[in-house]
Structure formats: structure tokens, C-alpha cells
Amino acid sequence: MANPHIRAEVVECQEFPEMAQAFQVSGVPKTIINDRAEFVGAVPDEIFVNAILQALGKEEIDWAGEDVDGVDDEDRPTSVV
């Protein structure tokens, strides 16, 4: 593992439907970070980073105006659930 402070678990929803229901899985992949931030589907790196910051109680990064990946700012999602 690249970092001993990071742990990931993968659960097969078809094999463990009660766990999928408990975590309200409506689509895959569903990512939950420290039970504080979550999102469904593949998301841009900026959203993933902000979800980690949110889960840690840190201030999120305002990516607006930064052309990090060629996506127009009005098309860029900026928050997580």
C-alpha cells in the first residue's frame, strides 16, 4: 500500500444487499469518506479532493478560475453531498 494511513474497502452490492441498503447505495461506485462525505459515480479530481477535505473538517478549495483540466468553469461540479 502506498500510504499506511489510507484504507479502502470494496463491497459487492449484489452479494451484500443489506449493506448496500444500510449505506443507501443507489449507484456505483459509491464513495464514502470517514462517514462524513460521499458521492456516487466517477467524479473529477477536484471533487474528490474537496470531499476528503470536507471529511477532515478542512476548508474546501475553490477551483473556479483555475484551468486545471480544460473544463469550462460553468460545467465544473464544485461540491459533494
Domain ranges of the chain: 33-62+73-81
* Count of other CB atoms within 10 angstroms of residue 66: 11
What are the residue ranges of helices labelled H in the chain?
Answer: 17-22, 45-55
Cis before 44? omega within 30: no
pTM of the predicted protein model: 0.67
Q: Please give the Cα distance from 62 to 9 (Å, whole number).
A: 29
pLDDT band of residue 40 (cuts 50, 70, 90) is very high
In the block, residue with C-alpha cell 462524513: 36
Average pLDDT (14-42) is 92
SS3 3: coil
